[in-house]
């Protein structure tokens, strides 16, 4: 398909078509089918082809409707819609399916109608598209890296406009680098900054003596133990987080990232009660583990190149960073009796990624509020947060935990 035609398709909102198995669905623009109209106009148009007021129009009349607007349609799209009409199992189309088709509502009922009507229509895979520009090839590459179904890859490819851009992960990364550079210049130390006695004196790190300052359960994400810590986290954050944000949006990715960060500090406060916390590992591990779990669960559908090698490399990077954190935790602290930062935040991030994160990334187009499993994991997560808050309020005193002095 020529690049100009593809550009035109990216600029508008999508409708659909399906292949022989009803699994690979090509995205079309509903705005090319008919001009956008309020529901009363859809009703008027439907009634015109349903003079008996039966609530259905026959596929023959639907073909007449398409023929009346055929000059407004791309020939390929007209072919798709005609295939949908011809393939309807009961020979008629109800009003709701008609509205879904014309208004581009990708609902479950509309998807069922598409699967029924488009089985005999064969479409080329997105990977076979030619004449694409550099940015379009990048979007296509990201679609194959992150989405397991051709229906979602094509839907995403045709609808992605880079507006808004993937700003959230980039903003987190820039802020983390800026804070690291600031402390590097202030402490005159770039490797193992945590070994400097002044490192934990700022307002950002989580420290058990300062756990009543609630912002520290999140703000610790901007502090890193050294350039080796920042480098590994930043690499995973950019290589995995930015493509995920481009596909799933800032809201979903931000939810997983922030939940991982909060779970990390709370997990430390419950299981490693005397240790401080720094670094973005909780959020990074939530994103990476959710993505890797999504790849494993949809292994046959994932079409990314060298997926086994890349998954192995991601696990190696995570293991190296986690091993560094474990070694540092038990390394003799620079200012005893305060221990070095805990590694448990990594495990909290992984737990969030394998539960809440997997659900958030599992279904590309279904709204989160429509997913019962999302609410189950979200409620479990909130229950953990509530229990951890009560633990921080009461358990330290009841257990008579001897905390290190304030930094």
Which positions are catalytic? 281, 346
- DSSP conformation letters of 82-117: HHHHHH-TTSEEEHHHHHHHHHT---HHHHHHHHHH
Residue given tokens 């020939």 in the structure block: 75
What is the 8-class DSSP label of residue 300? Answer: T
CA pair distance 368, 366, nearest whole angstrom: 6
Do residues 283 and 221 touch, judged by C-beta distance below 8 A?
A: yes
What residues contact 147, with CB distance under 8 A and at least 6 apart? 153, 156, 247, 364
Q: How far apart are CA 159 and CA 62, in angstroms?
A: 26
> Is residue 17 helix, strand or coil?
strand
Provide the 10 A C-beta neighbour count for residue 133: 12
Cβ atoms < 10 Å from Cβ of 358: 22
- Of the CA atoms within 13 Å of residue 68, those in its CB half-sphere come to 10
Relative to beta strand 56-58, strand 92-94 is antiparallel
DSSP run (H or E) holding 363: none
């Amino acid at each position: 398909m020529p690049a100009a035609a593809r550009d035109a398709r990216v600029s508008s909102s999508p409708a659909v078509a399906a292949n022989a198995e009803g699994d690979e669905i090509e995205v079309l623009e509903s705005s090319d089918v008919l001009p956008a109209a309020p529901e009363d106009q859809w009703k008027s148009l439907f009634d015109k082809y349903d003079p008996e007021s039966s609530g259905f129009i026959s596929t023959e009349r639907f073909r007449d409707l398409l023929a009346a607007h055929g000059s407004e349609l791309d020939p390929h799209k007209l072919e798709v819609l005609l295939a949908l009409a011809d393939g309807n199992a009961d020979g008629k189309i109800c009003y709701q399916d008609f509205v879904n088709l014309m208004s581009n509502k990708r609902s479950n009922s509309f998807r069922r109608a598409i699967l029924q009507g488009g089985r005999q229509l064969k479409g080329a895979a997105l990977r076979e598209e030619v004449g694409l520009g550099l940015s379009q090839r990048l979007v296509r590459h990201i679609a194959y890296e992150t989405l397991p179904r051709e229906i979602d890859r094509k839907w995403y490819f045709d609808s992605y406009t880079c507006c808004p851009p993937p700003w959230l992960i980039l903003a987190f990364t820039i802020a983390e680098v800026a804070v690291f550079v600031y402390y590097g210049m202030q402490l005159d130390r770039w490797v193992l900054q945590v070994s400097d006695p002044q490192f934990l004196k700022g307002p950002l790190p989580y420290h058990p003596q300062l756990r009543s300052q609630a912002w520290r359960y999140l703000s610790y994400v901007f502090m890193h133990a050294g350039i080796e810590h920042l480098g590994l986290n930043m690499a995973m954050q950019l290589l995995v987080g930015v493509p995920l944000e481009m596909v799933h949006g800032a809201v979903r990715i931000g939810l997983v990232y922030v939940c991982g960060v909060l779970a990390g500090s709370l997990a430390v406060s419950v299981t490693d009660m005397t240790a401080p916390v720094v670094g973005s590992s909780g959020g990074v591990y939530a994103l990476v583990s959710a993505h890797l779990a999504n790849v494993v669960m949809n292994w046959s559908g994932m079409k990314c190149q060298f997926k086994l090698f890349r998954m192995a490399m991601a696990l190696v990077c995570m293991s190296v960073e986690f091993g560094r954190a474990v070694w540092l935790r038990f390394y003799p602290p620079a200012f005893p009796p305060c221990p070095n930062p805990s590694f448990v935040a990594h495990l909290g991030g992984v737990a969030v990624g394998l539960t809440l994160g997997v659900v958030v990334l599992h279904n590309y187009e279904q709204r989160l509020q429509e997913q019962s499993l999302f609410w189950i994991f979200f409620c479990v997560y909130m229950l953990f947060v509530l229990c951890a808050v009560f633990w921080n309020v009461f358990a330290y005193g009841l257990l008579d935990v001897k905390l290190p002095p304030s930094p």
